[in-house]
């Protein structure tokens, strides 16, 4: 046993019958919870409803801090493996890989938690309740926190969100490995500067079709917690919404876990939303609506609320029972020897195995947007210029909500480690990340003319996009005001093209970057997101052909900011691949590889399964290239033409398949009747008769992907009868 784990074993109070049945792991969880609740005073109960719950020493109940982050690795708690930012994990379109990453994060979380407890530390970021994943829909590329999400599509978000939850929580029949949390519920995706007072008013159709499905999928998959958003939704604060928390989450979906507020959100009730007069009223309103845990300190005023008759002790007990149930599921009141993972050694943290997984995930996240045949690169180029403000910038590995790895492999370092010794590599910063370019001579351009190949690293880092108060260089309070490259970078690239013999553009960032001119002038374009601690090595794997790129865009990349609807408008019309009418620069789901692929005809049949008639769609995928590739095969349903307010297409399933060089594989999708329903104006699913089109291919339907080099999709008509 690792010393930290051994110390943890003696740091947890032993089972004592004198402390009551709640300490007895042989009793049912409900019995243990009821026993502990019955032993607490009202003041003690209230003290346990805030994120920094203090110890109750007379009962041997240790302090517990609920606030912890694991967006793409254990965050804000020192050493950890930094996996690719979530938007990069989304670009892998790989359920199994995302679950493996989440399981590795949970291993590190367990090791860090038990080491902290052994040292007598129970503070913020040291617990086992993680406020991850963020399953908000990335409806607008200007939103700074979109990087934390799985992209713009509800189905992709739900599928990968479930994989994250399963990896974090594990599959033990009695204990949770860690507790995951679906956030921010609901209708929350910017603007950051308005989030504390904004009232999002989506239509019933958009709410049911876009903003809620991923949350429902995670709830039905067993996510332990749900975090309410800062904003109001249809007039009610999200953290006290009778519609969201009562009617939908608890009654319709049957959620039995706990609800936590976003941090400081309960104070927003009286400070910004104007729905209550003071902290006591806000706290009572939230608890009575179903928000069990306050990230903040407003719930301390429940003492006043109870005294004034605004809330009953029974209502406080309801919230407390949900919270205690989570702590019991984590084994926090049980002997360590009885809890799986309590002996997880500290050696798993940033271990070689986890770093190898981070490199694999980063390589799979890279999206090849253009390639005129230059890639993959030879290792024996005579000379290479590496330039741009993100080439040696370690911040571009991290994104936001990150831990810190003791070894961060920059993008420049990755290239340096991959080329032959005889290749001369020159590095110049080239231009600033943002702001004005200095006047006078820039040696970069002359250097480009002298070298055989130029690789330019441009884009964003987490100072330009992120959360309110965190993205310190963002003029939009964390959001971007324009989705184009900063002017200084764009001007630099245009001049660089005049001098570079061959030019590869590598884009960093957590959101869509509109680069229409760059696409035209560069020989190759790649998007690497925020790729994590092994980002440089992963990029080199792809650039030099050890790995064929298989990433696909989880977002649409528009041509220009002017193509977007107003940021403040939560209507989906004009947004994402499902409703945008303007041709994008790069479509949702798009990404090239190093092999030529071809789809065969799409055969459609019907079968009976689980008491319902399912549509089975089968096609073949042939690899005509010389290297094996992984391809994300995507299945979309297009509703009958002319159907009012229907999406242009809807992703209903996907598979990531291995296609060996020269081989042909068969891919099959079995679609339930729900795939052929539409959401009506009232927000209800409707089965509209008519001819639906099934499209199976390498990107969302449309001519743009094929024009960019994607193989032509396989299509077939499906006749749907009315009910």
Angstrom distances, CA of residue 225 to CA of 17, 293, 322, 380, 412: 31, 10, 10, 52, 40
- Beta-carbon contacts of 703 under 8 Å, excluding residues fewer than 6 positions away, are none
681: nearest Cα among 650, 656, 711, 644: 644
**Which of 249, 410, 395 is closest to 322 using CA atoms?**
249
φ, ψ of residue 706 to 5 degrees: the values are -65, -40
d(CA 301, CA 311): 11
Count of CB atoms within 10 A of residue 373's CB? 6
Strands 453-459 and 424-428: unpaired
Q: What's the rounded Cα separation, in Å, for the pair 663 and 598?
A: 11
**SS3 annotation, 430-483:** CCCCCCCCCCCCCHHHHHHHHCCEEEEEEECCCCCCCCCCCCCCCCEECECCCC
Is there a catalytic annotation at residue 140? no
Please state, in angstroms and rounded to a whole number, the distance separating the CA atoms of residues 512 and 153: 14
Establish whether 35 is a catalytic residue. no
For 250, the token pair is 């608890």
Residue in 209, 262, 461, 467 annotated catalytic:
262
Strand pairing category for 612-623 and 453-459: unpaired
State both tokens at 130.
């993680």
Given its phi and psi angles, is residue 469 left (phi above 0), alpha (psi -120 to 50 degrees) or beta? left
Go through the chain and tell me how many residues it has. Answer: 723
SS3 state at 97: helix
Q: Pairing relation of β-strands 650-659 and 612-623?
A: unpaired
Tokens of 286: 């939230």
Residue 121 neighbours by CB under 8 Å, 6+ apart: none
Question: Could you say which of 69, 148, 334, 465 is catalytic?
Answer: 465
Residue 446 exposed, middle or buried by CB count within 10 Å (0-12, 13-18, 19+): exposed
- Which of 459, 489, 461, 464 has its CA nearest to residue 477? 464
| Nearest residue to 400 via CA among 65, 67, 73 | 73
- Just list the catalytic residues: 262, 465
């Amino acid at each position: 046993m690792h010393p930290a784990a051994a110390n943890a074993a003696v740091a947890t109070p032993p089972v004592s019958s004198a402390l009551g049945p709640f300490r007895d792991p042989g009793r049912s969880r409900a019995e243990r919870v009821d026993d502990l609740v019955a032993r607490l005073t009202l003041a003690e109960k209230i003290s346990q409803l805030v994120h920094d719950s203090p110890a109750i020493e007379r009962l041997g109940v240790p302090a517990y801090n609920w606030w912890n982050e694991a967006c793409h690795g254990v965050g804000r708690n020192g050493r950890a493996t930094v996996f690719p930012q979530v938007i990069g994990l989304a670009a892998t379109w790989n359920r199994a890989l995302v679950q493996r990453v989440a399981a590795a994060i949970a291993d590190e979380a367990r090791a860090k938690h038990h080491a902290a407890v052994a040292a007598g530390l129970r503070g913020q970021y040291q617990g086992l309740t993680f406020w991850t994943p963020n399953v908000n829909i990335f409806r607008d590329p200007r939103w700074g926190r979109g990087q934390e999400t799985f992209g713009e599509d509800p189905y992709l978000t739900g599928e990968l969100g479930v994989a994250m939850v399963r990896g974090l929580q594990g599959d033990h029949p009695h204990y949770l490995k860690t507790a995951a949390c679906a956030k921010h519920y609901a209708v929350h995706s910017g603007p950051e500067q308005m989030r504390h007072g904004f009232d999002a008013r989506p239509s019933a159709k958009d709410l049911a079709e876009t903003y809620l499905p991923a949350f429902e999928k995670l709830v039905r998959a067993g996510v332990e917690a749900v975090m309410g958003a800062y904003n109001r939704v249809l007039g009610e604060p999200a953290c006290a919404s009778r519609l969201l928390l009562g009617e939908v989450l608890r009654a319709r979906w049957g959620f039995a876990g706990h609800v936590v507020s976003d941090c400081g959100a309960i104070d927003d009730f009286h400070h910004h939303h104007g729905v209550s007069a003071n902290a006591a009223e806000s706290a009572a309103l939230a608890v009575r609506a179903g928000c069990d845990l306050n990230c903040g300190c407003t719930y301390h005023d429940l003492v006043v609320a109870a005294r004034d008759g605004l809330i009953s002790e029974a209502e406080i007990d309801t919230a407390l029972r949900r919270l205690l149930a989570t702590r019991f599921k984590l084994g926090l009141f049980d002997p360590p020897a009885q809890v799986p993972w309590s002996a997880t050694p500290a050696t798993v943290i940033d271990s070689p195995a986890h770093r190898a997984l981070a490199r694999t995930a980063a390589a799979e996240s890279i999206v090849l947007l253009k390639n005129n045949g230059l890639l993959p690169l030879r290792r024996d180029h005579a000379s290479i210029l590496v330039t741009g403000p993100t080439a040696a910038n370690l911040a571009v590995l991290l994104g936001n909500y990150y831990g810190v790895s003791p070894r961060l492999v920059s993008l420049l370092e990755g290239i340096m480690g991959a080329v032959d010794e005889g290749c001369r590599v020159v590095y110049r910063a080239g231009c600033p990340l943002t702001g004005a370019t200095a006047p006078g001579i820039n040696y970069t351009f002359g250097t480009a003319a002298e070298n055989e190949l130029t690789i330019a690293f441009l884009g964003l880092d987490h100072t330009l996009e992120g959360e309110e108060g965190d993205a310190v260089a963002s003029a939009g309070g964390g959001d971007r005001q324009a989705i184009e490259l900063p002017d200084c970078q764009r001007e630099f690239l245009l001049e660089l093209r005049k001098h570079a013999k061959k030019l590869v553009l590598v884009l960093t960032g957590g959101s869509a970057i509109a680069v229409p001119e760059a696409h035209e002038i560069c020989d190759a374009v790649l998007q690497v997101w925020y790729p994590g601690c092994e980002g440089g090595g992963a990029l080199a794997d792809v650039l030099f052909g050890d790995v064929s790129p298989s990433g696909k865009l989880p977002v649409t990349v528009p041509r220009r900011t002017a193509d977007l609807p107003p940021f403040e408008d939560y209507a989906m019309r004009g947004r994402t691949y499902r409703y945008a009418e303007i041709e994008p620069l790069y479509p949702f789901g798009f990404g090239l590889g190093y092999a030529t692929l071809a789809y065969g005809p799409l055969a459609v049949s019907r079968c009976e399964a689980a008491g319902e008639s399912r549509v089975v769609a089968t096609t073949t995928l042939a690899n005509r290239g010389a290297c094996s590739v992984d391809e994300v095969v995507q299945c979309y349903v297009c509703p009958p033409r002319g159907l009012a307010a229907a999406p242009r297409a809807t992703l209903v399933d996907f598979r990531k398949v291995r296609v060996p060089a020269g081989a042909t594989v068969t891919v099959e999708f079995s679609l339930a009747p729900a795939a052929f329903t539409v959401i009506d104006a009232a927000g209800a699913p409707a089965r509209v008769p008519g001819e639906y089109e099934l499209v199976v291919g390498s990107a969302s339907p449309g001519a743009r992907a094929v024009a960019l080099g994607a193989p032509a999709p396989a299509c077939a008509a499906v006749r749907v009868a009315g009910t």
